[in-house]
Amino acid sequence: MIRFENVSKTYLNGTQALKEINLHVKKGEFVFVVGASGSGKSTFLKLITREEKPSKGKVIIAGEDVTRISDKKVPFLRRKMGIVFQDFRLIKNMNVFDNVAFAMRVTGASEKEIKNRVPYILALVGLSKKEKSMPNQLSGGEQQRVGLSRALVNNPKLIIADEPTGNIDPEMSYEILELLNEINKMGTTILMVTHELDLVKQFGKRVVEIKKGQISSNV
């Protein structure tokens, strides 16, 4: 699903963020990516979502070398992924239903498809009774579940979760991880960046550690 082949990234200011990264994440895996601030985790994600290109090497997503695709094709690449952010990124003037539906509308889904799919996804994450609620009426954990719903609604084969528990309390963090775990059991590949090592240890999944731009551990 994800393959890095001899990938290095040096920014224009001379900062070498990643050095000779080789990594393979198989279809259906759940992988945690950990590392200290400044270790290269953010650059690693940006290469997957094609916000950045590597200075050297190949990044292959679902069999496609994304380092070679044109800028015009980048939005289509991202639509194949579900991305969950630390800061939720909900649209403040839209209710829960429309926040999730928005992700389908940008792909050209019909209103019939949206009416069928969105309630199903909201039920999956335990938000059936919150369809009409506005983001400011939700707790942090509920907002993150809306973010997760939005990532799931187009049925992606890959979910990228960037510190999804960073702004919620420990109990809610565990619930979000449980949800991701259940989604993974249905066959979706999960790649989650986090600094919460205690949480990681509870789930017994593969852990990739990035230290000073290099993979220091991959177990």
b/e sequence 39-73, b meaning 16+ C-beta within 10 Å: bbbbbbbebbbbebebeebebbbeeeebbeeeeee
pLDDT at position 13, please? 95
pLDDT at position 39, please? 93
Q: What is the pLDDT of residues 46-57, one digit of tens each?
A: 999 999 999 999
For residue 187, pLDDT over 90 is answered with yes
Kind of pairing, strands 16-25 and 2-10?
antiparallel
Give the separation between CA 172 and CA 207, rounded to whole angstroms.
21
pLDDT, average across residues 125-148: 95
pLDDT at position 151, please? 94
pTM of the model: 0.90
Residues whose CB is less than 8 angstroms from the CB of residue 187 and which lie 6 or more positions away in sequence, other chains included: 28, 157
Q: What is the pLDDT of residues 75-109, one digit of tens each?
A: 888 888 999 988 889 999 999 999 999 999 998 99
Q: Which residues make beta-bridge pairs with 18?
A: 9
Q: How far from the centroid of its chain's Cα atoms is residue 13's Cα?
A: 27
pLDDT at position 134, please? 97
pLDDT band with cut points at 50, 70 and 90 for residue 172: confident
Per domain, the residue ranges of the chain are 94-150
pLDDT, average across residues 146-157: 94
| DSSP per-residue string spanning 83-145 | EE-TT----TTS-HHHHHHHHHHTTT--HHHHHHHHHHHHHHTT-GGGTT--GGGS-HHHHHH
pLDDT, average across residues 140-146: 93
For residue 170, pLDDT over 90 is answered with no
| DSSP per-residue string spanning 39-100 | SSHHHHHHHHTTSS--SEEEEEETTEETTSS-GGGHHHHHHTEEEE-TT----TTS-HHHHH
pLDDT at position 196, please? 85
